[in-house]
């Protein structure tokens, strides 16, 4: 991280870097404050290991543009983008003060969380995904750790989707950015078609990943089989592991996890409508 601004350093005379929150494959995210208005923000920096890669730089810049094109209260808002004096690209986003769903599950799961709570969190996630898809953006890395849960008005939990670093955007040239990265995403959440080629991912691939998220929130684990019978198998597993789960909700998970994309929900809204009755 030697090329990145240090904690306590002023970035471009506008953002004071407080502390680093997490580091991923491509970038590191810091909690900072925008001096104008004392607004807390999150700043994502491209890691030093990727600075020499034109492809990584292009993908990082496209992440900012893709996320900025999405209008949703459930998708992180991009406020600014630039490059440090050391040549490190950065993206400035709203700071979401909360835990990601993986942390929430680890803290509250026994082994899963409550049915109504899990359904509500996924319905909100689907609202964000639906807005992304409407803007022509496929996330391609939908997972618990990329969904931040904070307290909103009245104390209700509010979901914000983050990290569009490997997203697919119809307004950008995809072929030039995937020539060396045939498989993109997190394998344990990945739809079968996406595991074969990132270019094959579409909105239904994100919905498959959302189905894995819901399964995880309900059980604490992953579906035992991601294969040709994955959807039906997952629905049966849910009925065994948590008999109190309504049959309709188990069926919705099974449909989301269908091997063939044409057997899944067609849109995020359709999937959300199937899950919403169980959200309490």
Domain ranges, ordered by start, for the chain: 10-94, 99-278
Instruction: Provide CB contacts within 8 A for 4, sequence distance 6+.
Output: 20, 28, 30, 45, 47, 48, 84, 88
The predicted structure's pLDDT at residue 179: 46
> Is 273 considered catalytic here?
no
The predicted structure's pLDDT at residue 175: 46
CA–CA dist 30, 121 (Å, integer): 25
* CATH 3.40.50.10300 is right for the domain spanning 99-278: no
Q: Which residue has the tokens 């964000």?
A: 128
The predicted structure's pLDDT at residue 198: 81
The predicted structure's pLDDT at residue 210: 98
Q: Which of 116, 225, 228 is nearest to 236 (CA)?
A: 225
Instruction: Provide CB contacts within 8 A for 201, sequence distance 6+.
Output: 138, 140, 168, 184, 185, 191, 193, 194
CA–CA dist 162, 15 (Å, integer): 20
Instruction: Provide CB contacts within 8 A for 174, sequence distance 6+.
Output: 168, 199
Angle at 249 between CA 191 and CA 143, to 5 degrees: 35
The predicted structure's pLDDT at residue 100: 97
Catalytic residue among 54, 73, 80, 141: 141
CA–CA dist 250, 275 (Å, integer): 9
Q: With contact defined as beta carbons under 8 Å apart, do 63 and 90 qualify?
A: no
Domains 10-94 and 99-278 share a fold: no
Neighbours of 6 (CB within 10 A): 10
Token pair belonging to 215: 């399964």
Q: What is the dihedral of CA 195, 198, 200, 204, to 10 degrees?
A: 70
Q: Among 3.40.309.10, 3.90.1150.10, 3.40.50.300, 3.30.200.20, name the CATH number for the domain at 10-94.
A: 3.30.200.20
Written as tens digits, the pLDDT of the chain (280 aa) is 468 999 999 999 999 999 999 888 789 999 999 999 999 999 999 999 999 999 899 989 989 999 999 999 999 999 999 999 999 999 999 999 999 999 999 999 999 999 999 999 999 999 999 999 999 999 999 999 999 999 988 889 999 999 998 888 876 555 454 444 445 678 899 999 998 888 889 999 999 999 999 999 999 999 986 656 678 888 999 989 999 999 999 999 999 999 999 999 999 999 999 999 999 7
The predicted structure's pLDDT at residue 174: 52
Q: With contact defined as beta carbons under 8 Å apart, do 198 and 184 qualify?
A: yes
């Amino acid at each position: 991280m030697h090329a990145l601004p240090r904690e306590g350093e002023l970035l471009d005379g506008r953002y004071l870097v407080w502390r680093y929150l997490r580091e991923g494959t491509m970038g590191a995210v810091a909690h900072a404050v925008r001096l104008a208005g004392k607004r807390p923000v999150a700043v994502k920096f491209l890691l030093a290991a990727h600075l020499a890669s034109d492809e990584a730089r292009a993908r990082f810049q496209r992440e900012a543009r893709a996320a900025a094109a999405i209008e949703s209260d459930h998708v992180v808002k991009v406020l600014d983008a630039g490059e440090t004096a050391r040549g490190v690209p950065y993206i400035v986003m709203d700071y979401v003060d909360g835990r990601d769903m993986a942390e929430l599950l680890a803290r509250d799961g026994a082994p899963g969380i409550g049915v109504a709570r899990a359904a509500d969190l996924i319905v909100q996630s689907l609202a964000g995904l639906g807005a992304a898809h409407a803007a022509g953006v496929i996330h391609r890395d939908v997972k618990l750790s990329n969904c931040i849960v904070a307290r909103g008005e009245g104390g209700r939990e509010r979901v914000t989707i983050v990290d569009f670093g490997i997203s697919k955007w119809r307004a950008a040239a995809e072929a030039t950015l995937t020539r060396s990265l045939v498989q993109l995403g997190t394998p344990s959440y990945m739809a079968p078609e996406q595991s074969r080629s990132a270019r094959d991912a579409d909105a239904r691939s994100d919905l498959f990943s959302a189905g894995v998220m819901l399964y995880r929130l309900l059980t604490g684990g992953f579906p035992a089989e991601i294969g040709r019978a994955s959807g039906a198998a997952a629905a049966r597993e849910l009925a065994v592991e948590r008999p109190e789960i309504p049959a309709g909700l188990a069926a919705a998970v099974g449909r989301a996890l269908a091997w063939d994309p044409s057997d899944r929900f067609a849109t995020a809204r359709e999937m959300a409508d199937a899950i919403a009755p169980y959200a309490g």
